[in-house]
Amino acid sequence: MSSTNQADLLPALHRLQEKFGYIPDHAIAELAKAHNMAQAEVVGVIGFYHDFRRTPPGRQRLRICRAESCQAMGADALALHASTQLGVEFGATTADGEVTLEAAYCLGNCACSPAVMLDDELHGRVSAERLDAMLAEGRGV
Chain residues that interact with other proteins, rule: CB under 8 A: 1-4, 6-11, 13-14, 35, 44-45, 47-52, 65, 67-73, 104-113, 115, 117, 120, 122-125
Question: Distance (Å, rounded) from C-alpha 130 to C-alpha 112?
Answer: 14
Give the residue with the Cβ less far from other proteins, 125 or 139: 125
Q: Which helix (H) or strand (E) holds 15?
A: helix 9-20
Residue 112 Cβ, how far from other proteins at the closest point, in Å? 5
- Minimum gap (Å) between residue 59 Cβ and other proteins: 18
Closest CB to other proteins among residues 1, 95: 1
Nearer to other proteins, 88 or 107 (CB): 107
Pairing, β 99-104 against β 60-65? parallel
Choose between 19 and 96: whose C-beta lies nearer to other proteins. Answer: 19
Question: How near is the Cβ of 5 to other proteins at its closest, in Å?
Answer: 8
Radius of gyration of the chain (CA): 17
Q: How far apart (Å, rounded) are the C-alpha atoms in residues 12 and 27? A: 11
Amino acid at 85: Q
Q: How far is the CB of 95 from other proteins (least distance, A)?
A: 25
Please, how many CA atoms are within 13 Å of residue 75, restricted to the half-sphere of its CB?
24
